[in-house]
Structure 1
Amino acid sequence: MPEYVQLVKPTTELREAYLDFYQEWVDSGEDMVPWVISKDPTDFDAMVQSLLNNEKDENLPAGWVPDSTYWLVTANNKVIGAVNIRHRLSEKLFNSGGHVGYGIRPTERRQGYATQLLAMALEKTKELGIEKVLVVCDEFNTASARTILRNGGSADVSFTDENGKEVLRFWIDHHL
């Protein structure tokens, strides 16, 4: 059973814990998921502020949608994962991005954290008024597909992106 965790908005108070989380992803050589964790944390205060601004729909690049980022944090302030929730979908997000992108640091996987993180993120989508939530994963990411299904996902038509990668698409309906 995973230890107690909570979703926390990005904060400069978790600088060291977040930098440890970030460095583990960098050292792993894996793609950083969700995309927001690939933001350069060198100017940590500016990075945190930009994440908070995205939620308020401030200073977004053209074509971008507002989004909320949360860190999954243990009782002793270890950052285990991150989730990025898009408030609405652009055409690209509808095809291959979805409303929710999430990731668990490599050393903390296979302990149930992803299922908890997605469940908590779905509560946040309810608060945002999103009734049908699109969650996607790479066709080879069977662990993520299982996590989505455990959280009530129903498979939809998959999408082949511009690189030829197959993206599995799932809908989670809050009114079921």
Structure 2
Amino acid sequence: MITLRTPPRLVPPTAAVRVSFLTGEQADCVASGFDTEWLGPASEDFDGYVASCRGVRRRWDVPFSTYWYVAGEHYLGTLVIRHELTPSLLVDGGNIGYHVTPAWRRQGHATRMLAAGLTEARRLGLTRALLTCDPTNEASQKVILANGGQPDETLGNELRYWMDLRSGRG
């Protein structure tokens, strides 16, 4: 296990973590069974890839912002905040999605990353946030509950949790 010299923090995507980002995302894609083809173009023009990830962009028919959780030159994971919800995102996806790369899992990083993400969501003007997760993903359920998530009804195949962002916690 690598000892981090600086505490992790949530930042806009940065070229400073090129090697660990590409390594971590490849490991995550392989572990999750996702396609790794996108990593080739990202590695060929990493500065361009980073630039394309920064700022408010649009996907899922809503504006969203991407943040990376980093400690020095180490990339630990990604957090996405969707600024609005569509009927589809109310069932699957919610306002906030996150993942920690395999090498950094089970060390409390997801809990701290989500806490930092809730602060960013408040800064963006959200007063409540919906998070969803697969019913078999006990780790994510614990992360959401540790950050004050309140269970809601299950729609589709996802568990749903609401976070009241007005209180300053969860």
Question: What corresponds to 1:20 in structure 2?
Answer: 23
AA matched with 2:86: S
- For the residue of structure 1 that corresponds to 2:94, the secondary structure is coil
Aligned residues: 160
The answer to whether the 8 Å contact 2:24/2:103 transfers is no
- For the residue of structure 2 that corresponds to 1:130, the secondary structure is coil
Question: What corresponds to 1:5 in structure 2?
Answer: 8
Question: What corresponds to 2:48 in structure 1?
Answer: 46
**Take 1:38 and 1:99, find their aligned partners in 2: how far apart are those partners?**
27
- For the residue of structure 1 that corresponds to 2:142, the secondary structure is helix
Structure 1 runs (4+) greater than 3 angstroms displaced: 29-32, 37-40
Return the offset for 1:72.
0.7
Task: Verify: 1:125 aligned to 2:116, yes or no.
Answer: no
Q: TM-score, normalised by structure 1?
A: 0.81
Q: Which of 123, 139, 163 is the equivalent residue of 1:172?
A: 163
State the identity %: 36
Task: Verify: 1:70 aligned to 2:67, yes or no.
Answer: yes
Any gaps of 5 or more consecutive residues in structure 1?
161-165
Deviation digits for residues 21-79 of structure 1 (CA, Å, limit 9, x no counterpart): 112213324459xxxx99542432332222225x1x4xx46x621111111111x3210
**Take 2:37 and 2:120, find their aligned partners in 1: how far apart are those partners?**
22
Any gaps of 5 or more consecutive residues in structure 2?
none
Q: Which of 85, 97, 108 is the equivalent residue of 1:112?
A: 108
After superposition, the Cα gap between the structure-2 partners of 1:126 and 1:141, relative to the gap in structure 1 and judged at 3 Å, is same
Q: TM-score, normalised by structure 2?
A: 0.84
